[in-house]
Structure 1
Amino acid sequence: MTQPPLITPDVLIIGGGPAGLTAAAELAGRGAGHVLVADREQDAGGIPRHSDHTGYGLRDLRRVMTGPAYARHLVRRATEAGADIRTRTMVTGWADEHTAEVTSPEGRYHVRARATVLATGARERPRTARRVPGDRPHGVYTTGQLQNLVHLHHQPVGKRAVIVGGELVSWSAAVTLREAGCTPALMVSQYPKAESYGAFTLAGRTVLGVPVATRTRVTRVIGKGRCQAVEIEHLDTGLRRRVACDTVVFTGDWIPDHELARSAGITLDEGTLGPLTDTALRTSRPGVFAAGNLLHPVDTADVAALDGRHVAGRVLAHLDGADRPAPGVRLIADAPFRWVAPQILRPSDPAPARGRLLLWTDEFARFPKVTIRQDGRTVARRTLSWPAAPGRVFRIPSTLLAGVSPTGGPVHIGLG
């Protein structure tokens, strides 16, 4: 049987979103050699391509742009730096530990790179994954599906919508619905407070006129052919009522696109479900790194981009043969935290991107007292001035780990 053609770039980056494109621009611009970006979509840029509102680029570019403009900027930067961006190009599996199997309009081929960066991002859980019962009508979307339909394909949606979730992306869905001529009639959140920042919730309620029902869940979707209503339940009282709508948007509740990491046998973190990484963003497979929302689903696009910038330094060290990781200790998130990223601390490694550890909490704390423990002793305890809230990433300074023993046991991060 004839073997597919083989390409041997210096770096293969899988995923052309903010993390992958920023890593490509950094690596190509710093002399990494042939940097190949494989992206399965028709155009590179990731989610921002069809997120047609402002707010992108603040942390990484120090400017504010719309999503499509931000995506075009990242593509242009990577291309001008010399990266080879191939769209409609899907990595479907692995021929061996260092060889990716690729399918594109040009046919099938193999890519064996000296270093690989996984930047495949994350996706929202659809209705089926959330096990919401009822009918199966038209008009039920995730935010990504909605924005793709409206902004890329310019298709109409309904006239009256219910938004499930109260995260930042939920307000993005509300803006998209308004632009499509659909009225967001209600936003529902299971938490006592909507997960988004208070300023966004206040603006959404006053400017967009979207009421928010907290401690509420959707228990049933109703409609034959087209959605007609949803049934919602208040979690504290058990009272149920119907809300008329012809559109339902399930937002947030993110899961990493980890299929390639999993099929490669790369160790996954039980909390994030993305690859287990250290602060240099190495995975368990030598020469394979990961960046962006594959690791911490889900953070803003500019934070994902800064992950791409951060990983470039370690990739370059690997290409130079100077990347020799020392043994490390595990970082473990204790309740109410669901996960922490990254999860391994090595004494010789750089601080994580932006000097921050990222965590996800299931409970709201206005002034969280973060406690770091190792081997039964308290390493650090600090009350932070920003809240820990469900539905958005909670950031803590990595300097809180300064007293951790590199030869000790696992490090537990909790509250109290």
Structure 2
Amino acid sequence: MFTILVTGQVRDREVFLRLMNAINETRDQYSSLVYSTWSDELLRLPVVLDGANLPDGIEIVDAGSPFFAPTIMNRDVSSFIAQHRQLRAGLEVIDPKSYVIRLRADYDCHSVESFRRMLLLIKSVWKKPAYAERTIVCGADDVAPYFFEDRILLLAPRHAQRLSNLTLDDTYRSDYFNLFPEFQFYSCIAGGQNSSFFVHDHRYRLRAGCGQAFSEYDYQSFGGEYFDEVLKYLSNVVNELVFLSDAASGIGKRGDYDDLVFSGNIPRNFRIGDMREYYRVWLERSDKYAQEMPSGVVVVPDIVDQKRAFNGMYMQYFSGNTSLLAGTPVTGGVFSAPSAEFVGVSKLLVGGGESALNNLLELYSLGARGFELCFYLLRSLAQDAREAEFEEVASGALGAFKHVERMSEHVEHQRVVLKRAQKAKKRNAAQRLPSVGAE
């Protein structure tokens, strides 16, 4: 039994109608069809269709209203809650014994023939006993665990049921920065919600300016157990998931897979496309961890509570409550330095002047490399025409965030501001000089 579940808003009418036509023309390849979306989307659906017909037998599910969206500034969180609601509403009406091919409403199938080939490949994989109980993934990112492609969800029945039972209550144990769709969906599918990887913010080091290096937070979370945790995670993944490329090779249909990737029917937005490479990346990372871990590191028992307290400070800052944060005491423990950055930047933004700027420079000299600290230091130093200090901070910022386009653009823009400030400073100095023969 196979069900196609379409979720989401219609962002491109032609793409949506092309998908609906392909689904209708391949009616012999699935048992049921469900479309789950918001109430307001259903109200405007006749306008979108403009005389076109939906496939015969489609079951339309009203997922309610996304009233929460304007109140959530973090797009990852908003996206997860929206997708979770539409997905769960759709899964609730699907037979629990059915395999589910979940497509977003903006999925471009390109042609009926390529869509049919994709369905046949996926069904062929699930018909093999070795893959019958596994959810199929098309690609993976390596910045965090459970970060698999979610533009298409190819769910085995038992995993569809796990997602159907996923409530927002289940997410509260997770770190705030793990509230993005891929992480929450696949940690649920893989049954990893009670693992240490589920509560850890694996992307913290990127925001902290550590680059590919591990942070003190990582070391104090795992101590010398990181390798064992990686092995547990990989074992969990290989028991629950299979890469479509590997499965296609296993059933002698790798050529079909390659053709479908080339045509764009199978999304490959993430670099990693097979289990061998996924294993290699994680084992290499665990080796790097062991090589770089300082001696004498021990796990801090309250590290999760410390991180949650720091997350609260982070959310205060990005909610615009800088006046409140400027008077907040700096937290202790492993997050003392990054919390000092948020407090220091807040003091600068509420008019702390030279004192606040010098405080940030001192934090920078002690090794602080947070994005907000670098961002506002560069802006203030450029405005004050302090070129030597500006270039020192620019070098550190570009090193810490070399893959972040926003930082490189900011540095270049502030260099223009710096040059203008220098010229203005020279003009003002010239105007203050006494004119010749003034006496």
The TM-score range, normalised by the shorter chain, is: under 0.3
Name the structure where helix makes up a greater proportion of residues.
Answer: 2
Greater relative contact order (CA < 8 Å, ≥ 6 in sequence): 1
Name the structure where strand makes up a greater proportion of residues.
Answer: 1
Query: TM-score, normalized by length of structure 1?
Result: 0.25
Bigger radius of gyration among the two: 2
Query: TM-score, normalized by length of structure 2?
Result: 0.24
